[in-house]
Every structure is written in C-alpha cells, then in structure tokens.
A and B are shown apart, each in its own frame.
Chain A
Amino acid sequence: MRMIGDRSDETCLNPPTGEPLRRRRIRVASVGATVAAITVAGSLMLTSQQESFAATISAAVVPARVGSDNPPATSPASMPADMPGMDMSGSSPTPVPTVSMPADMPGMDMSGSSTVAVANPPLAPVLGAFGGATAMVLLTAGMIRRRDLAADVIKKAACISGRAAK
C-alpha cells in the first residue's frame, strides 16, 4: 500500500498500474456528492430535531439576551434535585458577581454550567459551511491528484515511446 507520492522506484519499465482515470474521476465526483448529500441531509435532520428539542425546553428556559456571551441560567427551583450525576452537596464554589462586575461576564460561570440550559445554536449553517468547505477541499484534492496521475501517465508514455524509438 505504497503512497501515491512515493514513486521513487517507478521507471519506464514499470508502467502505472493504477485504476483508469475515468473510474478515478467517478470516484472523486461520488465522494464530493456524498459529502454534499450527507451535509444537506444532516443539516435538515438536525434543524428539525433542534426545533422539536427547543420546543420542549422553551418553557423552562429564559430567552437569551442579545449580545450576551453567557447562556441564561434556569432558576434552581426549575431543576429537579436528583438530576443525574448532580452532586447536590456541592463542594464547588459558587461565585457571586460583585456589584461592579456584570453577572453575564463571560467565563464567570464557575458553577460548572450545571445549572445552564439553553437551546443549541443553529447547527444548519455550521454544518453547511463545514460540509461545503470539506466538499470543496476533497474535490480540489481529487482534481489535483487526477492531474498528477495524468501527467505521470503522459511522462511514462513519452519515456516508453522514446525507448521504443531507440
């Protein structure tokens, strides 16, 4: 399973044994199409799931303030005392913001976010950007690889024909 780039011992007498270019082209296109399809399908699926999830928790969640870096916290009363994994004895210190310090200061949530419940930010654009960028990278790399292989084939063909002419 030698890497494509490691072709130091290939010579004119060892013509490339790789798959035909057409098949490679089909493979590259299918990879790109698959990634794009998965991205679109995943985005749609997650968007619908988020909507349903947001609907279920909306009653318990205070709407996020515009421009706030920190997610809003649920009131302790809305939280069941026996939340799974919750150490209610609480050895962790709970910081109380001073008057001079805004309560929504990012990073000030030293209570370990255990009381935080917010709806997920929209995932569709994130996954769309990720999938789109990934598909572009894969297609570009595939095209470069195809071009390299084609150049390799031409070079070797020229080499073989040169030998034959001699």
Chain B
Amino acid sequence: MLDHGVAAGTDPDDARFNRQLGEPLGRDILKNRFVSALMRSRWYPGAFQIPIAAVFGLVAYELLAGPPSAHDNAGTALMWVLWWPLLPLLYVLFGRLWCAVCPFAALSDVVQKLVGANRPVPPLLKKYGIWIIDATFLAITWADHVFGIVESPWGSGILLLLLTFAVIVSGAFFQRRTFCRYLCFLGGLSGNYSRTGMLALRANSQTCATCTSKAACYNGTDTVAACPLFSFPRTMDSSANCNLCGNCIKACPNDAITITVRKPTHELWFLRNPKIEESFLAMAIMGIVIIQNVTMLPGWTDALGWVNRTTGITNYPIIFTAVFAVGVSIPVALLTLAAKVASAGNLEDTLKNFARFGYALIPLDVAAHLAHNMFHLLAEGGSVISTVGALFGGHYGGSTALVGSGPIQVLQYTLLALGLFGSFYTLRAITHRRYLTPARRRVTMLPFSALIGILTALNVVMFMYPMAHRM
C-alpha cells in the first residue's frame, strides 16, 4: 500500500471519479420566448451571416486593393484592431457563437450546396486535426512576425485568400464544416476558449433516451441541416465543438435541447476526458501571447541588437525563429515539469497530468490574451474610426487611443487577476474531483499552483512596460 492510499495497479479514486455526475445545467434560456424564437427562426444564423460576410468582403477588398499603408487601411483596422481583439471576449461571453456567423463557414456551406462531393472526413484529420490546428496557429504567428502580415494589408489579404481557398477545398470535397471542426486555427482557439464560455448547449438525456427520430439533432431533417461540427447533443459534455447554430434545436422533435447560462470556466471544473493536444494548444497560445508581448516591448530592439552583436547573426527570421521556439516552449516545458513533479506524488503518469491540468491554465490563457488584445482595441481603436470614416468621406483627426494608458493597464491587471483566480479555482476543482485523499490533492496542487503563479508573474511584468502600436 502506498502512502497516498493507492494500491499498486488499482486506483480507488477511479471508481469514485467515474461515478461522479457531469456538469450540472443551469437555467434554460430557451424558455425565454425571444431567445427561443430567435434560435428556431429560419433566418438564424443567416440574417447575421449576410451582413458579416459583406463586411468581410469590404475588408478583403480594402486589404488587397486599398491603401498600401496599414495605418490608412480600413481592412487592417477592422481585422486586426477590432475583430481580432474582440474574438476572445466573444468566446468567453457566448462560446463559439462567432463560428455560427463566420463568413468562412457561410462560404463553405454555399460551396457545399453548389458542388459539394460530401466525402467523409479523412481519418487522418479526425485523429490529428487538433495537432494540425496547433501547427497552423504557430505557423501563422511565426509568419506574421517574419513576413509582417499584420503590418501589411497585402499580407493580411493573402492570408485571407489562403484561408478562403482552404475553406473552398474543404467545402467542395468534405461533409459539413470539416474545415471549421478539424482545420481552422481559430476553431482550435475558440474550442479551447469556449470551454470557459457562459453559454452551454446540451440535450436532456431523459428525453433523448426515449427519442425515436434517428438522431435528427445530429443528422438533420429534410428541412434542417445536420450538425455542422459533427457534435451529437445527447452525448455532448463540452462546448468546444458547438457553435450554437441552432440546427439541433430546430431538428429535435422533442424539444430536448437546452441552452443554459453558466459561470465562466464552469465546464473546466467538470473535466472528464482531457486531451493532450488541447492542453498543448492552451500552452502554445500562452507562449504566443508571451512572444507577442515581448516583441512589442521597448527592450525587444535592444535584445535583437544584443543577439546580433553576440552571435553575429543579422538575419531577422533566424533570430526570431529561435526566440519564437524558446517562447512557445517555455509554457509547454513548465507544464511538463509541473506534470512530472505532480506525477511523482499523485501516481498518475506525466502525460495524464499534462493533459488534465493543462486545462486549468486556460482561464489564465484567455485572460492574458484578452489583456494583450485590449491594448490593441483601446490604444489603437481610433484607427478604426478614422480609416472606416475615410472610406465614407469622413475625417477623424483625433488620437488612435480610445482611452489613456493608465486605464488600459488597470483593465489588463484586472483581467489577469480574474484569470489567476479562474485558473486556481479550476485547478482546485479538477484536483478535488479527481483525487480523494488530501495527500494526492496537495502534491498535485503545489506544482501546478507554482506554474500558474510563474506565468501570471511573467504577464504582470510584461504589461508593466509600454507597448508598441500596431497601427
């Protein structure tokens, strides 16, 4: 018998863990007449998709054919100063709702309707889809710094064209929204972040047990399309792959679908099937935020100069690739280290610890990302007014900053504090649900708490310095 009360080969906590109920559901907002009518309307989500697609069309046109300077380009401002910074906030508030109204998804649907071959999703994508998403996300961030995608409207336009082409290929050959589920780098990000989201769509399992409609919620009906993200509401225990498109609500003959409001990060507390690739993505995003922050600090140029003097390397892509690799590796390495330390005490292997407790970092991840993005939105938001106004003949001569740097820093630290609290609470909830004995809980909490503390401190230090503007 081991000192934590775990006999070799058996884990008494497993039985208890497996008996535990899933995430409790809150108040069903579909009981509200307005929300119910909206979700069941044949115009939802199309009525939102059309204007958003029109705006994206304008963005694409501006990026490719508008002013070549990012400073004057409405496409750059709308894409990188307004849309991109607001995305994580949307995920926290509404889960993956953005994916329901995303113009790329609408394009995929149109292509599919016109010429879709509707081939099943290749097993390779099903198995390694999230790793592909991880790699794509890292590659795009790397390319942004090396080729200056964000600073160049033309570069951003090319990125949009590449994404559009990938969506068209996916829509033309594969079923439903294969791209959104298995390939979209934003889908991976939104999948992770929407676990902290405040809306959850689930099915009433008791009603579903008596259902005779051959999974209409998943397969669709003659009038309602199938679930675009291949999710089966009856067995769904995560919001990562639900975009709240409302298809299952319209298709269900028993009104078994509910949309409940919950506390942010609530889903993470009841985690049952952790996946290592999703934990890795959470850490990679943390690394990306760190890199983005570092390259915007005043000391970044000095650091480049130091590397240049020390190594004699003048090639920026080489220097940045090395920094990027180190930056992304730091959170992954720290989580691996914490998992290793915890595995010595909680008697689960390092990989399981890595997979399970990487999710506890997601709240901090979202907070750090939001804090970074709020800088762009609030310190450069004036550029949206000026560039879009200029399109319609207006003139805005004010500053790009919507608020001063003081309030922005207060907001950033508030977000970080919320993220810190969310991560600690999630860590505690996961640990307490998984392990019965106080000793196992203690040895698990310690290393991961230290990791959360280190990553928070790193972010706090970075947000202390003034950052370079993008526009």
Instruction: Name A's interface SS.
Output: loop
Q: Is the CB of B69 within 8 A of A5?
A: no
A residues 127-143 near B (Cβ < 8 Å) are: 127, 130, 133-134, 137-142
Most chain B CB within a 10 A radius of its CB, from A31, A70, A93:
A93
Q: A87 to chain B: closest CB distance in Å? A: 5
Which of A89, A106, A141 makes the CB contact (< 8 A) with B146? Answer: A106
Cross-interface CB contact of A137 among B172, B176, B298, cutoff 8 Å: B172
Contacts of B189 in A (CB 8 A): none
For the complex, what is the distance from the CA of A11 to the CA of B15, rounded to whole Å? 45
Whether the pair B115, A141 counts as a contact (CB closer than 8 A) is yes
Report if A86 contacts B (CB, 8 A). Answer: yes
Asked if A92 contacts B469 (CB within 8 A), the reply is yes
Q: Contact: B146 with A107, CB < 8 Å?
A: yes
Instruction: Give Cα A120–Cα B317 distance, bound, in whole angstroms.
Output: 23
Judge if B83 is at the interface, Cβ distance under 8 Å.
no
User: Contact: A106 with B316, CB < 8 Å?
Assistant: yes
Of the listed stretches B125-133, B214-222, B452-460, chain A binds: B214-222
Query: Interface digits, A1-16 against B, CB 8 Å rule (1 contact, 0 not)?
Result: 1111110110000000
Contact (Cβ within 8 A) A140 B172: yes
Number of chain B residues close to chain A: CB under 8 A:
76
Complex Cα–Cα for A126 and B382 (A): 31
Q: Check B314 against A86 for contact (C-beta < 8 Å).
A: no
**Docked complex Cα distance between A121 and B226 (Å):** 42
B313 CB to nearest chain A CB (Å): 10
Cβ-defined contact, B222 with A1, below 8 A: yes
Say yes or no: is A145 at the interface (Cβ < 8 Å to chain B).
yes
Minimum C-beta distance from B375 to chain A (A)? 11
Interface residue ranges of B97-151 to A (CB < 8 Å):
111-112, 114-120, 145-148, 151
A85 touches B387 (CB 8 A): yes
Would A3 and B304 count as touching, CB distance under 8 A? no
B127 to nearest A CB, angstroms? Answer: 20
Within 8 Å CB of B158, what residues of A? 126
Query: Which of B114, B314, B382 lies in contact with A31, CB distance below 8 A?
Result: B114
Known contacts A93-B301, A93-B468, A126-B158; is-contact A5 B401 (Cβ 8 Å): no
A79-100 at interface with B (beta carbon < 8 Å): 82-87, 89, 91-93, 95-96, 98, 100
B309 within 8 A of A: yes
Q: Which of B358-417 contact A (CB under 8 A)?
A: 382-383, 385-387, 389-390, 395-401, 405
B152 on interface, CB distance cutoff 8 Å: yes
| CB-based contact A100/B115 at 8 Å | no
The CA of A46 and the CA of B399, in the complex, are separated in Å by 32
Q: Which single residue of chain B is at the shortest CB-CB distance from A102?
A: B314
Beta-carbon nearest neighbor of B145 in chain A: A107
Nearest-CB residue, chain A, relative to B71? A114
Known: A89-B399, A144-B117, A144-B173. A107 touches B69 (CB 8 A): no
Q: Classify chain A's interface size.
A: 35 or more
B282 to chain A, nearest CB (A): 27
Indicate whether A87 sits within 8 Å of B165 (C-beta atoms), given known contacts A1-B222, A98-B305, A138-B111.
no
| Assembly CA distance A91 to B408 (angstroms) | 14
With a cutoff of 8 Å between Cβ atoms, the chain A residues found around residue B225 in the complex are: 1-3
| Chain A residues positioned under 8 Å from B320 (CB to CB) | 107
In the complex, A123 has a CB within 8 A of chain B: yes
> Which chain B positions have C-beta within 8 A of A144?
117, 119, 173
* A1 touching B172, Cβ below 8 Å: no
Query: Which residue in chain A gives the minimum CB-CB distance to B175?
Result: A5
Q: Is B184 an interface residue (CB 8 A)?
A: no
Contact A6 B117 (CB under 8 A): no
| Contact residues, B413-471 vs A (CB, 8 A) | 466-471
Using A5-B120, A84-B390, A84-B396 as known contacts, say yes or no to A118 and B220 having CB atoms under 8 A apart: no
Q: Decide: A137 and B400 in contact? CB cutoff 8 A.
A: no
Does B334 touch A at the CB level, under 8 Å? no
Closest to A105 in B: B316
Which residues in A have their C-beta under 8 angstroms from that of B169? 137
B154 touches A121 (CB 8 A): yes
- Contacts A101-B314, A144-B117 known; A138 to B165 CB distance under 8 Å? no
Q: What per-residue 1/0 map shows which CB atoms of B6-41 lie under 8 Å from chain A? A: 000000000000000000000000000000000000
11 A-B Cβ contacts within 8 A? A71-B152, A84-B395, A98-B309, A100-B305, A107-B148, A108-B304, A108-B316, A110-B468, A112-B470, A116-B151, A133-B165
Closest 3 pairs (CB-CB, A-B): A5-B118, A85-B386, A141-B172
Knowing that A69-B147, A91-B469, A114-B69 are A-B contacts, what are 5 other residue pairs whose CB atoms are under 8 Å apart, sorted by A's residue number? A46-B65, A107-B148, A112-B471, A145-B115, A148-B117
